[in-house]
Chain A
Amino acid sequence: MIGKKVGLLLFTAFAWSACIQLVEVDLPPETPKLVLVSHFTEGEPIRVRITLSQPLNAGVNVNEILRHGDVTLAADGIFFNRLALDSTAGGYLFWRSRDLLKAGVRYSVTARFPGFDTAQGSDTIPSPVVTVGLRIKGDSIRVLKDSAGLWIMRVPVQIHVTNLPKEHRYFAFGLQYELRKGPSSGSGAVELRPASFLANGRTLALTYGTPENLFLINENYWNDGNTSVEVEALLPYMPAEEHPTQLHLEWRTLSTAYYRYHLSLATQGSPLSDPDALFNNVEGGYGNISGFARQRKSVSLPQ
């Protein structure tokens, strides 16, 4: 009897032994390449992050910041600036141009670092093509109270655009809210925080979050004569020490390279999503060099 049981156990173990397993996959051999990432706009210098591509199983913090090389910027094919290494307050290093950029000019970034292939990417800053309006439905604002003492202001927001072009409807938007710190009517410090939002299923499915805390809007969103984005912004705050005062909208008109790069990124990270080939406009390397135009709108929140 015991022998039969052992036999059955062995048999079932053998039967299901191959369901899930860890394997190693041979990847095509590839030497590290330069990675250029920059989104640039009018009236600002270009700032390019230059790193190296890594093996898939490399750790998170192994991005090597390249310091010794030659990075140049050309405008419409003519040398414009040599970029210099700069750093942000957070310690990130960027290659920065001295002069400010203009719309309609094709800028090319060329990076030469010893031991690596030369990488080059180029794009143009588009002009804003739509007029943007921002409106909130003040009478529909609600405040929900969390058991932990956090309050969440829910603000219905309508972003309305006019003069939509028929093609290249490449846009992104971001919402921020201004928090005044301190007593309710005092003149304390002001803090800007990105706002998340809720929306109907279609809007959620056709907008994609980007690392810049903006939301890319699929160009098909504007089908059927749709000219507005309606969301319900969520503004959490601690009522004892914070008060939301303003809602800011940043609206971006994107170049094709900007839009397609982030659209290809949007297929990554979901188990239900079939990955797409990464859009890459950097020759000799990886990354994205792309321009955008920025518009800003603000509305005051009712106190």
Chain B
Amino acid sequence: MAIHNIRLPKAIGKCFFETFTQRETAVLLTDICVRNPLRWQSLYRYASFLISPYVLVWAAWSMCLGYAVGQNTLQEKRINFQCYQCEVEAALLQLAQQHNLGISFSPNFFASCSPVTLNVQNKALEEVVKEITACAKVKVEWEADQIIIRALRHYTVSGRVVDTQTGEWLIGATIRVEGGGYTVSNEYGFYSLRIVEGTHRLSAFYVGHRLEKVVVEVKADLQWNFRLTPDAMLREVTILSRPAKEGIEPSASLSSGQSLSLEAMRRTPMLGGEGDLMRYATLLPGVLTGADGLGGLHVRGGNADQNLFLLDEVPVYNPSHALGLLSIFPASAVNYAQFWKGDFPARYGGRAASVIDIRLRDGNGERYQGEGAAGLFASSFSLEGPLLRGSRREKSSEASGSFLATGRFTYLAPWLQLLERRYRGALFLSGDDVRYRFYDLTFKANYKFSQREQVHLSAYFGGDAYRNQLRQTFSSSTAILNDQYTLGASWGNNIVALRWNRILAPGIFFKTILRYSRFNYQSQQDLLSESFQFISGKRKTVANYAQRYQTLIEDVSVQAGWEFRLIDNLAIHAGLSYAFHTFEPGALSVNFLLPGQSPLLADSLAKTLFNRERVRADEFSLHTDLSWDVWKGGRIEAGLFLSSFEIRNRTFWLFQPRLRYAQRLGDGLQAWAGYHHMGQFLHQVGTFNLNFPFELWVPTTPRALPEEAWQATLGFRLNGADWALSVEGFYKNLTRVLAFRSSTTALLSAGAEDASGWEDRIISGTGWAKGIELTAQKGWGRALFSANYTLSRAMRQFPEWNAGEPFPFRFDRPHVLNVSAHYRPTPWLDISALWVYASGNPITLATVKFQHQTYEENASPRDVLVYGRVNSYRLPNYHRLDLFCRFSFVGRKCRHELLLGAYNVYNQVNPFFRYIDAAIPADAGRAGAIQYNLLPFLPEVRYSFRF
């Protein structure tokens, strides 16, 4: 804004002037008083002055000025006005009447205004009108003796937030209007803001990127794409206090959910030295697991099958390798992960405990780059780059594409063979040739037709394979019999998703997804029995047969969703989806490779057990949810998820309302409360509920009704300049929790139990969990300390279990504490430590025994173990310390990293299972037990490079 200084010749007079500003316009008031009248004596001089260039300029300027002053006369008219508790409409009419003005407005502008009281003396008319209409978003225009009041128009500013180096959309970036509201980019980098007309200063912020600020003039709907530049230094430093320092709202800090920060994951010591989403999630408060992560995630007392893992919006049924030790999600391919511990928005559904929404990176759209890594147990690679560059890109500058391919494979065989040699005879490891491996292959391609429209193709193929071969030889005086048993199991996920999204209009985003997800578990048990007769010298095949066990779940589904941001501070999501499920719950079959030469039992099995039951079901769901910043510092998240499930001509319904309110209470302090109702039609049931791959995925049926849960939460968070503290309490109630009654008489094949009659073997119970979760973080120079503590209880109750009495859930751990420290003394060195402590898992142990013997003729005595109460005994507390150092070097073309570390540094013996063996001698009052421990001290060496 320019301010004009007026210097008039003092010989003529003195000019009193003042300036003030009205919005972007400088207004000058002049009042020229001639203090010294003209003197005839000075006439000549005056005449000469009149024609001087100075005066001519001044005269011209005065004429312009006078015109301008004349135009502002009405606004600057000094008036007196009084009005006591007048409606705005009445006050304006009174003002017009008193001063004989024409006025034009709509009473609707002031519908939400309170009565005003004014008593002004000698005040500019414009000021008075401004005071009266201050309660409404209106604009006042002055025309002659007319005042025209019209509403300010709102326009939509929308677009995408893009990384300048890779061209990828940035998810969860915060876009803020200076002096106004803010929003967060969605899973496709899309954002939308409603802004009143005028000039605004916008800023965009994303972790690890430079803050981007722009000034935009909003006169109509505007599309604006933010291009944020990564900042290598920012990416590496602690950002605990950055949002406050930068004046940026921590991204959607009033929203539910928690971002699983990839940077935080890199700072945390992990098994094998590789960032792992699931292992990182187990460190969060409220998340329970077995020893060393075995048994999957159990969020706030929920079962492992109650977690919804979404990989690029496709449900994943088996999210882990090695029975839960490692997740299937390659860290190098993950762009973003968001985790909700039950308080998830209504656009997510289908599970009763938590949601982990994982998005893969699109790949670098600007240049080719790759990454490779090799560790003690596994190696991985990734390659990414632009797609369809060149001629197509030249035709349309906005059109572009990119791809990403990653792979990971293991080489555990030497370790297993070492273990097998040491522990011949141990569970699953006895054999002559033990092999285990897993692999992941991920591919993603996307093509942006324009900044408004994009298509993605994502695929994941991964699995585990275990094989064990045993040989036995029996010899007699006449012959030798060789038996060769082969036990094997393989399991894995196949996932494909085709997604198309488009910005339909400013503030309206649309996406549609076609997806396929399949999880399959197969095991086999083969027997080849051959004899060799000494006398005849002939070899003969005595038996050759194979048992096969298979369980699978397969989905084909389609989903459409809309996101509306048409009204100030209000985002509405709506969508619908349909899924066609196919289940094959645990069928066991026998194949004869040598007909007619099979043993008796196998012959019988073939006749009676060939069973490939397939169950199909249709699931349909509708959802709508809104997040509304109702007033300053207040945010409501509300929604409804409605779903139906049709199977065998029966339809089941789930009605899931969700509500959360968060309020900013002061500088850095916020509080929230929520109620969420969740449910699911799909269940994974097993004897152990450990999320083991051979546990069955089964649908809801009349005898296995939908599982439901509701959760109430209350919490607060306090952020300081370099520290943060968060406390959240919860109570969760679970109805129809399902468990599987294993049978000692069911047939087994390679460790898996035939699931025939599964519907009649499911038992249904209830559960509840309650607890307090505490998170504290403190930044201190180049160090960051954080601690998570959970105090909780989780219980179960089944009418058919534990005599109907409640008992602790298998993963009930009253105290869980994780403490981590990260120190970065130089830009090329990271040092991290993690100490984990948890109460021991409860297990069921017998206390005494007796002999059951009845009088009956055919009765035989049997030792009966007296199990007092289910899960009444606790394993020793779990604890371990992990350490690592990461060295980073930047070469000419590559960036190298070398990680050296150790898992379970002090080699703590942490049992994951224990059972009493009466044959083991023990002192009085004690019992001998066999204890299985999982991961002892493990070294970690991992080298990786990026180019």
Contacts and interface: CB of A to CB of B under 8 A. Distances in A.
Interface of A: 11-12, 14-30, 32-33, 35, 37-39, 47, 49, 51-58, 60, 63, 88, 92, 94, 144, 146, 152, 154, 174, 176, 194, 198-209, 211-213, 218, 220-221, 223, 232, 263, 265-270, 272-280, 286-288
A275 B927 contact: no
Interface stretch (B126-134, B219-227, B753-761): B753-761
Contact of B936 (A16, A63, A202): A16
A37 B852 contact: yes
Nearest to B861: A211
A19 B936 contact: yes
B829 interface: no
Interface in B736-755: 741-748, 751, 753-755
A254 to B, nearest CB: 13
Contacts of A263: 800
B214 interface: no
Nearest to B904: A18
Given A20-B930, A26-B925, A94 B855 contact: yes
A208 B744 CA distance: 7
A51 B936 contact: no
A85 to B, nearest CB: 13
Given A63-B850, A288-B852, 11 more contacts: A15-B937, A18-B907, A22-B928, A92-B853, A201-B609, A205-B761, A265-B864, A267-B741, A273-B687, A275-B865, A277-B802
A265 B609 CA distance: 26
B120 interface: no
Contacts of A25: 845, 873, 914, 916, 922, 926-929
Contacts of B930: 20-23
Contact of B853 (A49, A57, A208): A49
A268 B865 contact: yes
Contacts of B566: none
B760 A221 contact: yes
A18 B847 contact: no
B44 to A, nearest CB: 112
28 contacts: A12-B418, A15-B936, A18-B909, A20-B426, A22-B930, A23-B911, A24-B923, A25-B926, A25-B927, A26-B925, A27-B925, A28-B868, A37-B854, A55-B924, A55-B927, A56-B918, A57-B928, A60-B863, A94-B855, A200-B609, A201-B609, A204-B743, A209-B745, A221-B760, A273-B687, A276-B844, A276-B867, A276-B870
B852 A232 contact: no
Residue in A37, A199, A270, A272 whose Cβ sees the most chain B Cβ within 10 Å: A272
A213 to B, nearest CB: 4
B921 A53 contact: no
Given A22-B928, A208-B743, A218-B760, A39 B937 contact: no
Given A15-B938, A24-B927, A276-B867, A56 B855 contact: no
Given A19-B936, A49-B854, A213 B743 contact: no
B600 A144 contact: yes
Contact of B801 (A194, A212, A276): A276
Contacts of A152: 600
B95 interface: no
Contacts of B853: 37, 49, 51, 92, 211
A275 B867 CA distance: 7
Contacts of B114: none
B152 to A, nearest CB: 66
Contacts of B846: 56, 275
B742 A272 contact: yes
Contacts of B632: none
A16 B422 contact: yes
B54 interface: no
B551 to A, nearest CB: 13
Contacts of B861: 211
Interface of B: 418-419, 422-423, 426, 588, 600, 603-604, 608-609, 611, 687-688, 703, 741-748, 751, 753-757, 759-761, 800-803, 805, 844-856, 858-870, 873, 907, 909, 911, 914, 916, 918-934, 936-939
A206 B849 CA distance: 26
Contacts of A63: 850-851
B224 to A, nearest CB: 56
Contacts of B855: 38, 47, 49, 88, 92, 94
B742 A23 contact: no
B918 A211 contact: no
A22 B917 CA distance: 9
A226 B111 CA distance: 70
B858 A206 contact: no
A35 B423 contact: no
A47 B853 CA distance: 11
A202 to B, nearest CB: 3
Shortest 8 CB-CB contacts between residues of A and residues of B: A201-B756, A202-B757, A220-B760, A47-B855, A205-B746, A213-B858, A35-B850, A270-B744
B369 to A, nearest CB: 36
Given A204-B745, A232-B608, A220 B761 contact: yes
A209 B748 CA distance: 16
B756 A266 contact: no
B865 to A, nearest CB: 6
Contacts of B923: 24
A223 B423 CA distance: 46
Contact of A274 (B844, B851, B860): B844
A64 B866 CA distance: 18
A274 B599 CA distance: 31
B342 to A, nearest CB: 26
A269 B398 CA distance: 67
Contacts of A277: 801-803, 805, 844, 867-870
Contacts of A213: 858-860
A55 to B, nearest CB: 6
B847 A56 contact: yes
A292 B487 CA distance: 44
A157 to B, nearest CB: 13
A7 to B, nearest CB: 13
Contacts of A174: 858
A212 B865 CA distance: 17
A114 B239 CA distance: 74
B394 to A, nearest CB: 58
Contacts of A223: 703, 759-760
Contacts of B609: 200-201
B743 A35 contact: no
Contacts of A220: 703, 760-761
A40 B859 CA distance: 13
A146 to B, nearest CB: 8
B156 to A, nearest CB: 57
Nearest to B760: A220
A58 B936 CA distance: 33
A259 to B, nearest CB: 11
A21 B927 CA distance: 14
A198 B847 contact: no
B27 to A, nearest CB: 82
Contacts of B866: 53, 278, 280, 286
Given A35-B850, A273-B742, A20 B932 contact: yes
Nearest to A200: B608
Given A57-B920, A198-B604, A39 B856 contact: yes
Contacts of B753: 205, 272
Given A23-B929, A277-B802, A212 B854 contact: yes
A47 B855 CA distance: 7
Nearest to B937: A15
B939 to A, nearest CB: 8
Given A24-B922, A278-B866, A201 B757 contact: yes
Contact of A17 (B754, B936, B938): B936
B323 to A, nearest CB: 15
A206 B703 CA distance: 15
Given A16-B936, A274-B844, A275-B844, A232 B925 contact: no
